[in-house]
Structure 1
Amino acid sequence: MTISLTKKLIGATVAAGVIVALAGCGSAPAPASSTGGAKPADANFKPCLVSDSGGFNDKSFNESAKIGMDKAAKTLGVKALEVESKSDNDYKSNIDSLIAGKCTMIVGVGFKLDAAIADAAIANPKVNFGIIDSLADKNGDGKPDAPNIKPILFDTAQAAYLGGYAAAAWSAQEGGNKVGTFGGMKIPPVTIFMDGFVDGVKKYDEDKGTSVASVGWDKAAQDGSFTGAFAANDTAKQTANSILGQGVDVIFPVGGPIYLSASAAIKDSGKKTVMLGVDSDLAVADPSVADQILVSVMKRIDDAVNTTVLDAAKGSFDPTPYVGTLENNGVGLSSFHDFESKLPKGLTDELKALQDKIIKGDIKVESAASPK
């Protein structure tokens, strides 16, 4: 089935049955209009962004951060300086180049930049920094290493729990009764998705009296299948094949571009396996795989970056960590798009009820990687 980008964008906007059901009762990060389009309080304000080695075209967290930065810059009427890291060795030099370029607010995208951001913040106390998916805590004391760092964190286990439940429901309907996941690097921003996913599958089994199995991740042992990086390459495809070979109906690749390898592996297998997207609404971000995406587990990095930059521009930089949750709409599920008409009866209502219970605290979704 071929699904156009236009159709996807419309679906993301008007699929009220899912969007309204799963939006969460907490308020989202403040929209760009909160500044009224005013100029920054400081005429020298210059927002800047540095990607991790995945680059800005990863259809995932780097691209989402860039969208948020671009939105903030447009609202403020300023030019954002954005640099792309080609490898992990680029982080320090890229951040140094932004500092030399007179950046006053620098956001680093991803856990892998934590040490470079921490060092730069300590050395440049007059520059404000944001860091996605990390505390920039080299000291290990549970807080950022400098007062000019704002951690931008997400409790994605909550949204992945809903994704795991939906995956189990789909697999039970398809008859395979098995789902699987694999990750890029074995780091907390990846394993937090996997923890929530397998717990959501378990919840479905408890509620329905089924035996949908999950493979690729053992939460108790904190061990599973990983590619060792975030690149879409032969290693990622082989890892996907090892999961597909176990007969899964749904596969959850957690790690930016590795979804491309999973997509290729599914096509080569000739199976009807579907995927869960990660970070962004993948069916919209990459229409080429839309017919394989059951639903996406999103963390709204774009909104968080946008708000962080706008606050800094107003002179209201706050180093208190932001934590995206279901309640504040920082994480959540996307629309099911064209799969909505094929879902098990009542599934969206069940997901809404689960989400409400998580928000109220009646269901505790726990991961060793959850923000504390």
Structure 2
Amino acid sequence: MKKSLIAPVAFGAFALVLGGCATPPAATSASATASASATVAQSDFKACMVSDSGGFDDKSFNETAYAGLTKAVAELGVQKNEVQSAAAADYAKNVQEMVNQKCDIIVTVGFALGDATLAAAKKNPDIDFAIVDHSYSDDEGKNTAPDNLKGLVFDASEPSFLAGYLAASLSQTGKVGTFGGAPYPAVTSFMDGYARGVAYYNQQKGKSVAVLGWDTTKKDGTFIGGQSPFDDVPGGKKVATNLMAQGADILLPVAGPSSEGALQVAKASNGKVGSLWVDTDGCISQEQYCSIIPSSVAKAMDVAVFEAIKAAKDDKFSNEPYLGTLANGGTFLAPFHDWDSKVTDETKAELDAIKAGIIDGSIKTTA
């Protein structure tokens, strides 16, 4: 496949599930996909995807990324193939299985697949690869990915900063909390941005809302840990319970499916605690918990995945990493939904102004 180094687009017919443990999200059924695809010319181009251990129905980033693949089938007429990983030991073999299926582009979901994706890309230069939530660079920040591998990354610190400001404005106890699955950069960027947003609120309002679970100076915080930190709802519930016991009343869990533990704690609190969601709009992906979700820190992974597939199909694929930001719509703070009446007009206006400041660079979301 001919490679082109054209600059990346600014963001963003059957399924064969191999070796997986769960079915793809019901929101994109085979019949719906077939109906949508009927209006576009069908192609023999094959786009494939490998999930991490969360699976394509994780209500989080795997499911959102999978929506990008489904959209490509419907709108570009491409064929698709997919495999869901049950554990980390599956990653390399599942990527190889997609190579064996003669895929034209293979999208892997999650930073945990970084090594397996890089190895496969180097071994198979005629196949395009894209990976969600990971990129490759040296100590100076120079892109080191091979020509056929694109990182799809998102500056989560920006919308998390907004979420921190929002949380501080809503807190009744003067304490908010956050926790992660494990201390990966794709996790801690949420936590750090959140804490800095709270600090900005304190600075602007002369308040002293405390953040439990993350220290911006030490760049360390509270994590579920263990062998499966992103697939441990009881672990997430335990950490969230501890934060609530310390007085935190607005939580930001950053632990994939494990984050549902925080939603459970918030729902059981009878209105005393709220819990934000990350990666996607929780009021859509976790609809049953919408009443306790003030907002969500979301990433448009579906759009980024779709654009990567389209670029590969159009022979315009490049290894230039895609970075989702507030400016290009790659990241955003989701609507307030059931909490809209609890967020004052003053806070809404301040959030709009802060967003504009982040975009123009006058407000920094990182150190």
Report TM bin, short chain: 0.7 to 0.9
Q: Deviations over 1:20-53 (max 9, x none)?
A: xxxxxxx9735xxxxxx8658xx54210010011
Distance 1:207 1:285, change over 3 A: same
Q: Larger relative contact order (C-alpha < 8 A, sep ≥ 6)?
A: 1
| Alignment partners' CA distance in 2, 1:254 and 1:339 | 21
Q: Deviations over 1:2-29 (max 9, x none)?
A: xxxxxxxxxxxxxxxxxxxxxxxxx973
Q: Which residue in the other structure is 2:58 paired with?
A: 58
Q: Which residue in the other structure is 1:347 paired with?
A: 347
Q: Deviations over 1:283-321 (max 9, x none)?
A: 111111111100001111011111111111111112111
Q: Indicate yes or no: 2:330 matched with 1:325.
A: no
- Please state whether the residue corresponding to 2:366 is helix, strand or coil: coil
Deviation larger for 208-217 or 268-277: 268-277
Post-superposition shift, 1:140?
9.2
Superposed, 1:288-307 pairs within 5 Å as 288-307=288-307
Deviation larger for 78-87 or 261-270: 261-270
- Please state whether the residue corresponding to 2:211 is helix, strand or coil: strand
**Which of 205, 213, 218 is the equivalent residue of 1:216?**
213
Q: Deviations over 1:165-204 (max 9, x none)?
A: 0000001xx3x11100000111010000001000000000
| Alignment partners' CA distance in 2, 1:145 and 1:303 | 21
Post-superposition shift, 1:231?
1.5
- Please state whether the residue corresponding to 1:257 is helix, strand or coil: helix
Q: Which residue in the other structure is 2:11 paired with?
A: 29
Q: Which residue in the other structure is 1:334 paired with?
A: 334
Unaligned stretches of 5+ residues in structure 2:
1-8, 13-38
Q: Indicate yes or no: 2:198 matched with 1:201.
A: yes
Q: Which residue in the other structure is 1:152 paired with?
A: 152
Q: Is the 8 A contact 1:115 1:138 kept in 2?
A: no
Q: Indicate yes or no: 2:266 matched with 1:266.
A: yes
Post-superposition shift, 1:268?
4.2
| Alignment partners' CA distance in 1, 2:281 and 2:82 | 23
Q: Is the 8 A contact 2:267 2:289 kept in 1?
A: no
Q: Which residue in the other structure is 2:76 paired with?
A: 76
State the identity as a percent: 40
Number of positions where the alignment pairs a residue of Structure 1 with one of Structure 2: 330
Q: Is the 8 A contact 1:61 1:279 kept in 2?
A: yes
Q: Is the 8 A contact 1:170 1:344 kept in 2?
A: no
Q: Indicate yes or no: 2:209 matched with 1:227.
A: no
| Alignment partners' CA distance in 2, 1:71 and 1:194 | 31
Q: Deviations over 1:72-122 (max 9, x none)?
A: 121121221111100011001100100000001001101000000000000
Q: Is the 8 A contact 1:122 1:145 kept in 2?
A: no
Q: Which residue in the other structure is 1:245 paired with?
A: 245
The alignment's TM-score, normalised by the length of structure 1, stands at 0.85
| Alignment partners' CA distance in 2, 1:292 and 1:160 | 18
The amino acid across from 1:116 in the alignment is A
Q: Deviations over 1:337-365 (max 9, x none)?
A: 12111213411110000010111111121
The amino acid across from 2:289 in the alignment is V
- Please state whether the residue corresponding to 2:295 is helix, strand or coil: strand
Q: Which residue in the other structure is 1:187 paired with?
A: 184
Q: Is the 8 A contact 1:114 1:137 kept in 2?
A: no
The alignment's TM-score, normalised by the length of structure 2, stands at 0.86
| Alignment partners' CA distance in 1, 2:331 and 2:366 | 15
Post-superposition shift, 1:143?
2.4
Q: Is the 8 A contact 2:45 2:79 kept in 1?
A: no
| Alignment partners' CA distance in 2, 1:140 and 1:45 | 36
- Please state whether the residue corresponding to 1:80 is helix, strand or coil: strand
Distance 1:137 1:364, change over 3 A: closer
| Alignment partners' CA distance in 2, 1:230 and 1:142 | 30
Q: Which residue in the other structure is 1:314 paired with?
A: 314
Unaligned stretches of 5+ residues in structure 1:
1-26, 31-36, 368-372
| Alignment partners' CA distance in 2, 1:97 and 1:136 | 23
| Alignment partners' CA distance in 2, 1:340 and 1:141 | 40
| Alignment partners' CA distance in 2, 1:218 and 1:137 | 26
Distance 1:348 1:268, change over 3 A: closer
The amino acid across from 2:160 in the alignment is A
Q: Which residue in the other structure is 2:27 paired with?
A: none
Distance 1:121 1:366, change over 3 A: same
